[in-house]
Amino acid sequence: MPAVSDSPASPLRHDWSREEVRALFDLPFPELLHRAGTVHRTHFDPAQVQVSTLLSIKTGGCPEDCGYCPQAARYHTGVDATKLMATEAVVEKAKQAKAAGASRFCMGAAWRSPKDRDIPKVAAMIAEVKALGLETCATLGMLSGEQARALKDAGLDYYNHNLDTAPEFYGEVIHTREYQDRLDTLGHVRDVGMKTCCGGIVGMGEQREQRAGLMQTLANLPAHPDSVPINRLVQVEGTPLAGTAQLDPFEFVRTIAIARILMPKSMVRLSAGRETMSDELQALCFLAGANSIFYGEKLLTTGNPDTERDMALFNRLGLMPMPVVEQGETVHADILETTDVAARDTHAVSSHAVTSISCTVV
């Protein structure tokens, strides 16, 4: 059986073979969850779950052809393209998120890659959000080394760029850029000292072997991503992947467990697709080592039924939002109680953001 990092002193591994990952996938379900749970509680308090949020600062109209994404201009999904938001509007949203308890604010734009002329505008947003005392995160598509440097200099802490799937399945989903392009962007981000957020999507019609390939590739990156979002495909009418056979929910839980075992110190995040998961499935994911959930723009709304359902689930499971460190003090993030935040009807944007996983979420 493969060796797992089950002690804080165990070195993180970056040399997982496909056979080892395959063997983990093939374990009996209770044994796999036991191993993942052991690794999880070695490195984290299993009662704590991080809550993440995101603002779409530029929605739709993307020239790429990611087969799952409603923001690709070529698919008829009803998403209207918007221009890049004004800095003041973004800062206002960041203030709302902070008032709701958020410690990190992620900004997403539906671009293949930012144009050089976009960078100063995004850099200004980053600097102002950072000045609020929030950690900053962005997901803008592919970056050059110079762009990564400029964003880092503006105060960007995290960059999200997903691998999406295994190298050998990638061509079934995306044709307008290469797997290597994604690895290159992640390299540029690491080279300037930013933290990475990188995961993938399952349920796109791939086989278990390809889920193993995605997990192996993520774990064997030069540094484990700080956050590993695992998305379950949200099928959007009008995209090529609409109508794909549904993934067995237990296979999704297995994927979460293996992400936890392979990347013991990373935040393993339930992201797109969570809204359609039952409470029981989410609970199994937490048992398997998931310790972060993605909220889309829900933190910027009030009386959101989904938020209330999450709060009830946390209460039923005895979970709590992960405390955050703010200005040297540990404070409790009452992220689930956002009732004093100004009501905004962001449902449409939120829905698109949650389904367009690669660039604009997580």
137 is known to lie in a ligand binding site: yes
Query: Does residue 198 have an active-site annotation?
Result: no
Q: Least distance from C-beta 270 to ligand SF4, angstroms?
A: 18
Taking the CA of residue 112 as centre, how many other CA atoms within 13 Å lie in the half-sphere pointing to its CB?
Answer: 12
From the list 269, 274, 285, 359, the catalytic residue is 269
Nearer to ligand SF4, 110 or 192 (CB): 110
Query: Does residue 197 have an active-site annotation?
Result: yes
Nearer to ligand SF4, 66 or 262 (CB): 66
Q: Least distance from C-beta 163 to ligand SF4, angstroms?
A: 12
For 96-141, the DSSP string reads HHHHTT-SEEEEEE--SS--GGGHHHHHHHHHHHHHTT-EEEEE-S
Give long-range contacts, CB 8 A cutoff, 24+ apart: 181-186: 181/142, 182/142, 184/142, 185/142, 185/143, 185/148, 185/161, 186/161, 186/221
Tokens of 65: 């052809």
Query: Does residue 359 have an active-site annotation?
Result: no
Nearer to ligand SF4, 141 or 240 (CB): 141
Q: Least distance from C-beta 62 to ligand SF4, angstroms?
A: 3
Describe the crossing of helices 145-154 and 119-131 by its angle, rounded to 10 degrees: 30
Nearer to ligand SF4, 72 or 97 (CB): 72
269 is known to lie in a ligand binding site: yes
Q: Least distance from C-beta 71 to ligand SF4, angstroms?
A: 4
Nearest CA to 361 out of 98, 164, 77 is that of 164
From the list 13, 22, 35, 66, the catalytic residue is 66
Residue whose tokens read 């199994």: 284
62 is known to lie in a ligand binding site: yes
Q: Give the H/E segment covering residue 21.
A: helix 18-25
From the list 13, 22, 104, 197, the catalytic residue is 197
Contacts to ligand SF4 by CB under 6 A: 62, 64, 66, 69, 71-72, 110, 112, 141, 356, 358-360
Q: What whole-number distance in Å separates Cα of residue 194 and Cα of residue 225?
A: 11
Nearer to ligand SF4, 181 or 209 (CB): 181
Query: Does residue 285 have an active-site annotation?
Result: no
* Cβ-proximal residue to ligand SF4, closest one: 359
Q: Least distance from C-beta 56 to ligand SF4, angstroms?
A: 10
Q: Least distance from C-beta 64 to ligand SF4, angstroms?
A: 4
Nearer to ligand SF4, 307 or 358 (CB): 358
197 is known to lie in a ligand binding site: yes
From the list 13, 22, 35, 62, the catalytic residue is 62
Q: What whole-number distance in Å separates Cα of residue 37 and Cα of residue 186?
A: 29
Q: Least distance from C-beta 339 to ligand SF4, angstroms?
A: 32
For 181-227, the DSSP string reads HHHHHHHHHHHTT-EEE--EEE-SS--HHHHHHHHHHHHTSSS--SE
Radius of gyration of the chain (CA): 19
| CA angle (156 as vertex; 356, 109 as ends), nearest 5 | 25
| CA angle (295 as vertex; 109, 197 as ends), nearest 5 | 55
Nearer to ligand SF4, 264 or 296 (CB): 296
Amino acid at 70: P
- Which residues participate in the annotated binding site? 62, 66, 69, 106, 137, 197, 269
Annotated binding site for [2Fe-2S] cluster: 106, 137, 197, 269
Q: Which residues are catalytic?
A: 62, 66, 69, 106, 137, 197, 269
Residues annotated in a binding site for [4Fe-4S] cluster: 62, 66, 69
